[in-house]
Amino acid sequence: MMISLVKEQTGLEFIKEMENQYKSIEEAENTFKRNPTNMVLYVDLENWKHYLKNPNEKIKRTTSLVTDELILGEIELQLLNTIKRDNPKSISELARLSGKDISVVQPKVKNLVKNGLIQLKKVYKNSKTPHLNYDHITIDV
Amino acid sequence: MIKRNQDKVFINNKIIYKVETDTGWSVVIMPDAILIDNYHHGYVHIHPDPINHDKKIRIKDFNQDDIHFIIYNHIFQNKKLIIKKLIKELR
């Protein structure tokens, strides 16, 4: 089974992601000089330079996981829908909005984070906000 | 309008990246750091030795999707990357 996660972003958003990952283009270039076998950084740098010149251009980024394990069950899909539709501010609010107990939701959220489908952002002091990383999810069998 | 696509496939502990750039396209296999691209020279080639990036072997003139498919099948069937075998499949 192949699960594909699709995200569309502008060049500017891509640059911000690169800055979060590598801090600055100079630092990324220095890292590549120290480790020239890092081919991912090599192509990231090329794209980064391209989007600095074309910040409004759009990019479609797809991440696919080939797996025999079903990582998306009924509850996970319901949680993803709730995150996308209702933008819950915390995991407790996500549990409440989806009508599930927090003890059921918490491990599922942990797995979704582990598989890269969602992020937990610390927006409020005492809670983390679940954030969907992708625009579309497709499953091929 | 989307001008570029960037694909990343996780399979059998490998990641296959498919990237379009200004100077051409590339397919990268990590963590082995194998690069297949048509940069600079216009013809498709593989860099089989990540330590010696200058070493390149010309391969059959496949397009990026074909290369990606061959690599995907290779890793799927062998459950790992066998670089000599892959080069044969690409030539």
Q: Across the 141 residues of chain A, what is the mean pLDDT of every consecutive 10-residue run?
A: 89 93 94 87 87 92 82 89 93 95 95 87 84 86 78
A47 touches chain B (CB under 8 A): yes
Average pLDDT score over residue span B81-86: 96
B12 touches chain A (CB under 8 A): yes
Is the CB of B26 less than 8 angstroms away from the CB of A66? no
Is the CB of B21 less than 8 angstroms away from the CB of A61? no
Phi/psi for B53 (5° steps) reads -65, -25
Q: Say whether pLDDT at B34 is over 90.
A: yes
Q: Say whether pLDDT at B1 is over 70.
A: no
Q: Say whether pLDDT at B50 is over 80.
A: yes
Contact map slice: A 57-116 vs B, CB within 8 A: 57-67
Comparing CA positions, the residue from A47, A42, A64, A39 lying closest to residue A9 is: A47
Residues of B in contact with A37 (CB under 8 A): 33, 50-51
Residue A58 contacts residue A9 (beta carbons within 8 Å)? yes
Q: How far apart are CA B69 and CA B59, in angstroms?
A: 15
End-to-end alpha carbon distance in chain B: 35
pLDDT at B69: 93
Sign of CA dihedral B81, B87, A61, A15: positive
Of B3, B5, B50, the CB nearest to A57: B3
Tokens of A76: 């996970």
Q: How far apart are CA B53 and CA B51, in angstroms?
A: 6
Is the CB of A60 less than 8 angstroms away from the CB of B19? no
Q: What angle do CA A102, A105, A109 make, to 5 degrees?
A: 130
End-to-end alpha carbon distance in chain A: 4
pLDDT at B2: 64
Is the CB of A39 less than 8 angstroms away from the CB of B12? no
Complex ipTM over 0.90: no
Whole-angstrom CA distances from A3 to A46, A105, A132 are 27, 21, 15
| Cis, bond preceding B31 (omega within 30 deg of 0) | yes
